[in-house]
Amino acid sequence: MSGAGVRAALRMGGALLLVVGLPAVLVTVWWFASAGSTSFYEPPLHRIVSTFGRVWTPERLRTDVLPSVLRLLGGYALAGAAGVGCGVLLGSYRTARAVAEPVLELFRAVPPPVLVPVIMLFAGIGDTMKVVVIAFGCFWPVLLNTVEGVRAVDQVADETARCYGVRGGRRLLRLVLPSAGPQIMAGLRQALSIGIILMVISEMFAASSGIGFTVVEFQRSFAIPEMWTGILVLGLLGVVLSLLFRLVEQRVLGWYHGLRGARREGGGGHA
Amino acid sequence: MLEIRHLRKVYEGTGRSVEAIRDIDFTLAQGELVCLVGPSGCGKTTLLKCVAGLLRPSAGSVLLDGSPVTGPRPGLAIVFQEYGRSLYPWLRVGDNVELPLRHRKGLSRTERRTRAAEALATVGLAEAGRAYPWELSGGMQQRVAIARALAYRPEVLLMDEPFAAVDAQTRADLEDLVRRLWTERGMTVLFVTHDIDEAVYLGERVLVLSRSPTVVLEQIEVGLPVRRDQLTTRADPEFTRLRTRVLERIRGTVPDAAARDQ
Ligand SMILES: Nc1ncnc2c1ncn2[C@@H]1O[C@H](COP(=O)(O)OP(=O)(O)OP(=O)(O)O)[C@@H](O)[C@H]1O
Ligand SMILES: [Mg+2]
């Protein structure tokens, strides 16, 4: 293996340790610290874990986890498409930016959860309301990052496209979107965490299914270990989604990570 | 034929305007290779961008085969000074070279591939098509940029200090490549450099530009043989005479051309 290969392997090993290390420590601490707990509200972790399998049956995964995830993905996809679309528009045209700026600042300042009651008035209490809430919250980070990314397209890269007659849709596909890609992905990453939060919040207001709904139900019926398992499910969902996101990002931005690696190792690489 | 007619370019900034070019006027015959030399910041890049239709001149005009250039047009390619920024890091080398060919009507995918591969082979990078630009050295990247221009098969090729950032040996090789391609393909080439030796070695004619605000100081015909060679040409007394002439003109130790000729 080459020196770079060994270094990469070490880096990956180190990264894995970093990723797994702290959670392992925290879980261990929780496990032993709570082992002798007699508090009704803070049951020992081993009781929560043993309750887990009983509560989160395949049936409940289908009736509660799946709807939550689908609503999240729906809202997220909507926000992603709208955010990138509007971002490209606003990033490309100064006039569009000038017109939209004040309105955007206003909307951006509104915390999405307070819109839940408002959106309920228009969209009812069904799936639409939840998807809209999630989409609204996820939209802003995607939009703002896309605008920045599009505005930062390199001038020489742009002149190259113009000189060689690369215009319109092809320019968008080959120059603007890839160039703004790292920023867009950063926006999508922020949006994902916001989306999970809003998924839960929207289900706490008015719902008949979903992880957030389940947690609230357990809490109201004083099924405390069960409630804690719901929180574990949310945590696990977050981890899985963020891992999936990483995988996609590695694929989409492979060139970017390579480029940054090449820059770190000292400019031009090998002759 | 490429005509630059009393070109003037003033950059209008907020509260500040820079007169990059005062008055440049010259003509390139079809299939000619002309070198432009001038000090850094004298507006060489600005001039090329005006010729390519990427910038609007403040006054004067550029005519290509008699018709005014108002925007980028097919048949004209540029090799940019900042090759690192001109190649797209998200595209592999082969895709970078193919990019300008993608919207050429009547060019099939296979033909496109072949053209790109040929162009890369011409610059000695036949194996690099699958690599990313940032995996290559600076000199190799510059050759990719040249290959991209070649695959486009331009009638007019503009090159902006393309070899400023490569080592002497690579530079010599690339100079010979430009000469060879020019003799083989009969393109019109406008080659910008601030290296006097390079200008004399490459050009059939050398245009000397003044400091900013820029005008053409002098046009010098290069009477060297068409077949040039790094060793013999550079040792030619004519070569030495020409480079001294250009150097003097740039340093301002020669009286004004018009005054002397009288
Ligand atoms: N976009 C711009 N806005 C304002 N001024 C500019 C702009 N581009 C160039 N200039 C100015 O115009 C002048 C000529 O610049 P230009 O890049 O054409 O010079 P150059 O001859 O190519 O220099 P070099 O040899 O260093 O590449 C400089 O004074 C520069 O500061
Ligand atoms: Mg320049």
The pLDDT tens digits of the residues spanning B243-259 come to 999 998 888 765 554 44
Ligand 1 atom nearest the C-alpha of B18 is 5
CATH number, domain of A145, equals: 1.10.3720.10
Please check whether residues B52 and B168 belong to one and the same domain: yes
Please check whether residues B137 and B171 belong to one and the same domain: no
pLDDT of residue B194: 87
Q: How far apart are CA A242 and CA A31, in angstroms?
A: 25
Specify the DSSP class assigned to residue A113.
Answer: G
pLDDT of residue A17: 83
The pLDDT tens digits of the residues spanning B154-203 come to 999 999 999 887 788 888 988 999 999 999 988 999 999 989 999 999 99
**Position of tokens 């902006």?**
B160
B120, HSE (Cβ side, Cα atoms, 13 Å): 24
Sign of the four-CA dihedral A108, A111, A112, A117: negative
Which candidate, B145, B133, B156, places its Cα nearest to that of B100? B145
Please check whether residues B218 and B246 belong to one and the same domain: yes
DSSP helix, strand, coil percent of chain B (3-state; round to 5): 40, 25, 35
Tell me the ipTM for this assembly.
0.90
Counting the structural domains of chain B, the total is 2
Which candidate, B188, B100, B104, places its Cα nearest to that of B144? B100
B105 inside 8 A of chain A by CB: no
pLDDT of residue B252: 75
Of A156, A170, A269, the CB nearest to B80: A156
Q: What is the DSSP string of A244-257?
A: HHHHHHHHHTHHHH
Containing domain of residue A143, as a range? 70-253
Report chain A (271 residues): mean pLDDT per 10 consecutive residues. 79 82 86 82 84 85 90 96 96 92 85 82 83 93 95 96 93 96 96 93 84 88 87 91 94 94 68 39
Please check whether residues B101 and B173 belong to one and the same domain: no
pLDDT of residue A123: 77
pLDDT of residue A268: 47
pLDDT of residue B255: 53
Ligand 1 atom nearest the C-alpha of B81 is 27
CA of B138 to the centre of ligand 2 (A): 17
Which of B98, B126, B153 is where one domain is finished? B153
Specify the DSSP class assigned to residue A27.
Answer: H
* B135 to chain A: closest CA residue: A269
A-chain CB neighbours of B152 within 8 Å are 164
Between strands B205-209 and B156-160, the pairing is unpaired
Please check whether residues B95 and B71 belong to one and the same domain: no
Residues 6+ apart with CB under 8 A from A7: none
Residue B207 has pLDDT above 60, yes or no: yes
Please check whether residues B169 and B233 belong to one and the same domain: yes
Q: What is the DSSP string of A171-182?
A: HIIIIIHHHHHH
A-chain CB neighbours of B134 within 8 Å are 258-259, 262-263, 269
Residue A207 inside a domain? The answer is yes
B48 inside 8 A of chain A by CB: no
Please check whether residues B58 and B101 belong to one and the same domain: no
Supply φ then ψ for residue B25, to 5 degrees. Answer: -145, 115
Best of B42, B55, B212, B214 for a ligand 1 pocket test (most atoms within 8 Å of beta carbon): B42
Q: Contact A156/B76, CB-based, under 8 Å?
A: no
Which candidate, A165, A148, A179, A156, places its Cα nearest to that of A256? A179
The separation between CA B6 and the C-alpha centre of its own chain, rounded to angstroms, equals 20
**Position of tokens 């139900």?**
A217
CATH number, domain of B25, equals: 3.40.50.300
pLDDT of residue A270: 45
Please check whether residues B221 and B118 belong to one and the same domain: no
A16 inside 8 A of chain B by CB: no
Please check whether residues B119 and B235 belong to one and the same domain: no
Counting the structural domains of chain A, the total is 1
Reduced to 3 states (helix: H, G, I; strand: E, B; else coil), residue B114 is helix
A46 inside 8 A of chain B by CB: no
Please check whether residues B196 and B167 belong to one and the same domain: yes
Output the pTM of the full model.
Answer: 0.87
Q: How many CB atoms lie within 10 A of CB B164?
A: 17
Containing domain of residue B9, as a range? 1-75+159-262
